Amino acid sequence: MRIIPAIDIIDGKCVRLSKGDYNTKKIYNENPLEVAKEFEDNGIQYLHLVDLDGAKSKQIINHKILESIASKTNLKIDFGGGLKSDKDVEIAFECGTSQITGGSIAANNPTIFEQWISKYGSQKIILGADCNNRKIATNGWLKKSDLDVLDFIKSYEEKGIQYVICTDIAKDGMLQGTSNELYKEILKKTDVNLIASGGVSSMEDLLLLKEMGCEGAILGKAIYEGNISLKELQELC
């Protein structure tokens, strides 16, 4: 299982939210590149980079930070947040991301998202399935849809999607464990490479996700709050 630390960006700074609520913003570092380099120095190979400013706006915002991290580390980055147009995706790939994650666009404008899958290939495009009470949430999690998360994933699996990041918003940033039952259901009823996100609080959580069959696990606050050390992650990797 791939271990994928997260860096969320607001105003150019490394932050974390609780349940996606922008009012709960906590700044952990003024310099995201510094954080990324520390990850790399401890044997981490992957990074989940989220443009939270972009997620709320109509376009990518923090692409310069993506470019800085991509050019000054060897981390394999998946980038999301604010990717709403062909131009946004072009910018993200030009700035050095290995993959892009589309969530809101996949729910709100499936035609464009399907074109990205066709143009860049399913190895490059990740489906972001962020949900609250199983319903897909969009626009920086500020809007809720009527789409069931499993139906959403299945529909895109039929269109070629191989990688899915599934975040249970109620768990995100709460350090209270992951949505294991939901992940088991997705793994049982689909053949996607599932990347679990939201709620990782301990090494035990990571080991459970690995045992379950998740392809990857994203974690953020557990690292920043010291619940999981980079040395522990290095040993797991």
Residues annotated as catalytic (active site), given as ranges: 8, 130
Distance (Å, rounded) from C-alpha 71 to C-alpha 95? 8
The three-point CA angle 57-62-68 to 5° equals: 170
Distance (Å, rounded) from C-alpha 209 to C-alpha 72? 31
Q: What is the distance of C-alpha 37 from the center of its chain?
A: 19
Q: Phi, psi at residue 197, to the nearest 5°?
A: -145, 135
Q: Phi, psi at residue 59, to the nearest 5°?
A: -160, 165
Give 18-27 contacts, CB < 8 A, sequence gap 24+. Answer: 18/172, 18/173, 18/174, 19/169, 19/170, 19/172, 19/173, 19/174, 20/130, 20/137, 20/140, 20/141, 20/169, 20/172, 20/173, 22/52, 22/56, 22/140, 24/173
Closest CA to 158 of 122, 129, 188, 184: 122
Distance (Å, rounded) from C-alpha 183 to C-alpha 166? 8
- DSSP H helical segments within 42-146, as ranges? 52-56, 63-72, 86-94, 104-108, 110-120
